[in-house]
């Protein structure tokens, strides 16, 4: 993109280079400079395509003039520039997020469509329009200036948050994790933090990712089954990541702005500091969720606050809070899963069974579906199957 200035053509050329690598490297071996091999191959494919077009000679001359020295291929990483470019102010937030998830995060169009609750064709059109909008803007391929950065930072952080979440808990498929996505989100958050070290929310998002990702190894059994937070072997948590995330969070104290990512990071830190699940300071977590709810008015935050109320006070109190988001989260599997857990805590096994089963039927993540189904089955042991109408 930096060399040739055409988003669509550059993306197609890179895809062809990756296909060539998948075909040739298993036979010929991985080259000494795989990144350089891919860039050079993509450049050749792009130039070959231009040669077949009517304006071949002008474009070849332009390509020749813009060809950088070979050493730039190996040492330069344009990921952050692409990230800020995808968060162009001319795009709607939905289009910017979709384009970044496709171009930077590596999600398929189908996965993005699922996240936005639209069909794949509609999402493909949205991504194509976003590319055309960026191209029509005439903006050069370069990092944003210091004056331009603040306007794009919030959207950039939201996009990185979505990428991380998709990697940490995949919305669909047989695996709970897509580590390549969560690792890439952390890498890009580090790059953003390096550029904006005094931004409290950038630091908060990086700390949040590190503190949550530290639990990755403990979240599944050897055969891939989900392990809830309260049952995890905390000796498997990555203590180095927890220490780094906590240090970043502490360093961000007093730096503006105080936003949702720093509060979420503080909640994650409370969980990570507890040596045992029963040592968790739920009162502190409840206070943080109350602050986060005031800041965001997000029904998912209210759902999480309901959990904190159930743990800090009583499950009956948590159920009352949960009722306030029934309409806004209607049909969401997490609403059923949380209600089932609280009903189980109160001793209402029949109600818990029904909601665990409903949650299992609504999630598209196979590990989560298996876990919720097993919870329902455990409650049904020795009981009577309710009528189908229920």
> What pLDDT score does 71 carry?
45
**What tens digit of pLDDT does each residue of 240-267 get?**
999 999 999 999 988 988 899 999 999 9
Least confident of 55-69, 308-322, 366-380: 55-69
**What tens digit of pLDDT does each residue of 195-246 get?**
889 999 999 999 999 999 999 999 999 888 999 999 999 999 999 999 999 9
Beta carbons within 10 angstroms of residue 116's beta carbon: 14
Q: Which residues pair with 220 in a beta bridge?
A: 226
Instruction: Identify the CA nearest to 167 among candidates 179, 156, 155.
Output: 179
Average pLDDT over residues 69-78: 54
Please check the confidence at residue 75 and state whether its pLDDT lies above 60. no
Residue the block writes with tokens 């936005």:
116
Instruction: Identify the CA nearest to 220 among candidates 357, 380, 366.
Output: 366
Q: How confident is the model at residue 76 (pLDDT cuts 50, 70, 90)?
A: low
**Distance in Å from the first CA to the final CA of the chain:** 56
**What tens digit of pLDDT does each residue of 344-383 get?**
999 999 999 999 999 999 998 899 999 999 999 999 874 5
Average pLDDT over residues 142-165: 83
Angle between helices 56-66 and 34-51 (to 10 degrees): 160
Please check the confidence at residue 103 and state whether its pLDDT lies above 50. yes
Q: Which residues contact 9 (CB under 8 A, 6 or more apart)?
A: 46, 49
Q: In Å, how far from its chain's centre is CA 239?
A: 22
Q: How confident is the model at residue 133 (pLDDT cuts 50, 70, 90)?
A: very high
> What pLDDT score does 111 carry?
79
Beta carbons within 10 angstroms of residue 189's beta carbon: 25
From residue 121, give the alpha-carbon distance in Å to each of 96, 107, 110, 116, 126.
Answer: 17, 15, 9, 12, 9
Handedness of CA 132, 136, 138, 139 (dihedral sign): negative
How far apart, in whole angstroms, are the C-alpha atoms of residue 48 and residue 149?
37
Instruction: Identify the CA nearest to 9 among candidates 38, 39, 41, 50.
Output: 50
The percentage of the chain sitting over the pLDDT mark of 90, rounded to a whole number, equals 57
How far apart, in whole angstroms, are the C-alpha atoms of residue 329 and residue 318?
16
Q: How confident is the model at residue 115 (pLDDT cuts 50, 70, 90)?
A: low
Beta carbons within 10 angstroms of residue 13's beta carbon: 23
Instruction: Identify the CA nearest to 266 among candidates 218, 212, 223.
Output: 212
Please check the confidence at residue 18 and state whether its pLDDT lies above 90. yes
> What pLDDT score does 389 carry?
34
């Amino acid at each position: 993109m930096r060399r040739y200035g055409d988003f669509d053509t550059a993306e197609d050329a890179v895809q062809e280079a990756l296909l060539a690598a998948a075909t040739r490297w298993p036979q010929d071996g991985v080259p000494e400079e795989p990144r350089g091999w891919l860039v050079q191959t993509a450049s050749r494919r792009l130039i070959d395509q231009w040669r077949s077009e009517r304006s071949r000679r002008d474009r070849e001359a332009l390509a020749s003039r813009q060809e950088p020295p070979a050493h730039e291929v190996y040492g330069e990483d344009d990921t952050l520039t692409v990230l800020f470019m995808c968060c162009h102010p001319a795009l709607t937030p939905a289009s910017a997020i979709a384009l970044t998830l496709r171009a930077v995060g590596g999600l398929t169009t189908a996965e993005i469509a699922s996240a936005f609750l639209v069909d794949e064709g509609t999402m493909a059109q949205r991504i194509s329009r976003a590319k055309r909008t960026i191209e029509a803007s005439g903006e050069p391929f370069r990092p944003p200036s210091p004056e331009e950065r603040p306007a794009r930072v919030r959207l950039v952080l939201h996009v990185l948050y979505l990428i991380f979440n998709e990697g940490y808990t995949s919305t669909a498929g047989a695996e709970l994790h897509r580590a390549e996505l969560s690792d890439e989100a952390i890498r890009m958050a580090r790059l953003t933090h390096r550029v904006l070290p005094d931004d409290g929310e950038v630091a908060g998002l990086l700390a949040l990712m590190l503190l949550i990702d530290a639990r990755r190894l403990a979240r599944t059994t050897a055969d891939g089954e989900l392990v809830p937070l309260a049952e995890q072997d905390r000796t498997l948590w990555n203590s180095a990541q927890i220490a780094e995330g906590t240090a970043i969070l502490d360093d961000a104290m007093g730096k503006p702005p105080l936003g949702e990512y720093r509060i979420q990071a503080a909640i994650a830190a409370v969980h990570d500091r507890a040596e045992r699940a029963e040592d968790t300071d739920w009162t502190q977590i409840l206070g943080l969720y109350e602050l986060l709810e005031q800041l965001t008015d997000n029904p998912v935050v209210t759902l999480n606050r309901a959990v904190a109320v159930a743990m800090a006070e009583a499950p009956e109190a948590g159920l009352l809070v949960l009722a306030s988001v029934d309409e806004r989260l209607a049909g969401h599997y997490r609403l059923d899963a949380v209600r089932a857990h609280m009903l189980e805590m109160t001793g209402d096994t029949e109600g818990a069974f029904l909601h665990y089963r409903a949650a299992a039927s609504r999630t598209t993540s196979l590990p989560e579906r298996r876990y919720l189904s097993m919870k329902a089955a455990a409650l049904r042991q020795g009981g009577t199957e309710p009528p189908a109408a229920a």
